[in-house]
Structure 1
Amino acid sequence: MDSIMKSYFENLEAKDKNVQLEAFQHIMNATKEKVDWSYEVWDQLIDWLTDSDNHRRARAAQFLAGLAISDPEKKMLHDFPMLWEVTKESKFVTARHTIQSIWKVGLAGKEQREMLLNYMIDRFKNAIDEKHYTLIRYDMIVGLKKLYDEIKDEHIREIAMDLIECEEDNKYRKKYLSAWK
């Protein structure tokens, strides 16, 4: 990892919120492409998934989702359940940031994509008892659309349409469908 990227990770802990935000944005942008430094931060990020600081948990989850494409050893297949737990966070903003990023795991390969889809299907079908379940469902449908747009796998579109059909409330069914327009 170069010194600039190291400084971004250090700046996540800066006192100045603007410095933290700038560092966060640079790291998120870097993870849009494959990087060669993923394993230099991987274990630290895994530890952050259970940190007492919800900002660390959210950042770690978002970074790991992005770093899934930079994981030739397929550690994500083992670590995904810990990442998924952050989607069930009691602090909803942390959970939501994670849900909105987790689709990126599906870009890492077929095994990772199948695992992600299985978790999402199960959560969509069983989230009805959760607080804010309609937002959770919407974010997952949006994530499926983003994944579909990246890899053009018709199976993903079919899954999304099947999930949308499960929604009994017409108002929410329309909202979920709007993500696929």
Structure 2
Amino acid sequence: MKQSVQNHFQNLTCPSKQVQYEAYQSIMDILKKPVDWAYEVWDELVNELSSPDPHARSRAAQFLSRLSISDPEKRIIRDFSSIWAVTYDEKFVTARHALQEIWRIGLAGNKQFELVWSHMEERFKNCEGEKNFTLVRADLIQSIKSLSFYRNDDTRSLMVEEWIESIPDEKYRKKYWSIWRRKMT
């Protein structure tokens, strides 16, 4: 791992919130593409999924989701349940940030795709008892849309459209349709 990347990881715990944010943004940008140092940080990130610090939990879930494309050993399958647990975090913003990135695991391969898909499908259908479930559903639709777009695979579009149509509240049904129909670039 390059020293500059190590510095970004070290800066995540810097007292300055601005330095932390810049380090976070830099790492997120780097992780848009595969890296060869995933396993140098993997175990530490898995441990941070249960950190008392909600920011650390959120970052760990997001980074691991993005690192899944750099995971030839498929550790992400072993660690998926710990990452998915963060999408139910007691701090809603932590949960939401994890949920908004977890779809990226589905880009790592077919097994990973099926794992993410099955969890997102179950969550969409059964999240009504959750706090902010309408936002959870909106994030799930956006995640599925992104996953379909980046995999260049819309074979399950009809299924998602059926989910949206099954929403009894017209206001939210319209909201979900607007997300689903929005153009991706």
Q: TM class by shorter-chain length?
A: over 0.9
1:118-156 CA-to-partner distances (Å, cap 9, x unmatched) read: 000111111000010000000010011111111121224
Q: Which runs of 5+ in 2 are unaligned?
A: none
Alignment-mate amino acid for residue 117 of structure 2: L
1:2-81 mapped onto 2 (5 Å cutoff) = 2-81=2-81
Contact 1:120 1:140 in 2 (8 A): yes
Name the TM-score, length of structure 2 as normaliser.
0.95
Alignment-mate amino acid for residue 81 of structure 2: P
| Separation of aligned partners in 1, 2:158 and 2:113 | 14
Secondary structure at 1:160's aligned position in 2? helix
Secondary structure at 1:146's aligned position in 2? helix
Indicate the residue corresponding to 2:147 in structure 1: 147
Indicate the residue corresponding to 1:118 in structure 2: 118
| Separation of aligned partners in 2, 1:159 and 1:98 | 24
| Separation of aligned partners in 2, 1:65 and 1:107 | 10
Alignment-mate amino acid for residue 129 of structure 1: G
Alignment-mate amino acid for residue 126 of structure 2: N
Alignment-mate amino acid for residue 68 of structure 1: S
Alignment-mate amino acid for residue 98 of structure 1: A
Name the TM-score, length of structure 1 as normaliser.
0.97
Q: Shift in Å at residue 166 of structure 1?
A: 2.6
**166-175 or 92-101: which moved more?**
166-175
Sequence identity (%): 48
| Separation of aligned partners in 2, 1:158 and 1:29 | 32
| Separation of aligned partners in 2, 1:32 and 1:86 | 21
| Separation of aligned partners in 2, 1:156 and 1:105 | 17
| Separation of aligned partners in 2, 1:117 and 1:159 | 12
Q: Following TM superposition, where does structure 1 have runs of at least 4 consecutive aligned residues deviating by more than 4 angstroms? A: none
Alignment-mate amino acid for residue 124 of structure 1: F
Q: Shift in Å at residue 157 of structure 1?
A: 2.1
Alignment-mate amino acid for residue 128 of structure 1: E
Contact 1:144 1:156 in 2 (8 A): no
Contact 1:62 1:98 in 2 (8 A): yes
Q: Shift in Å at residue 164 of structure 1?
A: 1.2
Secondary structure at 1:21's aligned position in 2? helix
| Separation of aligned partners in 2, 1:64 and 1:109 | 15
Alignment-mate amino acid for residue 123 of structure 1: R
The CA RMSD over aligned residues, in Å, is 0.9
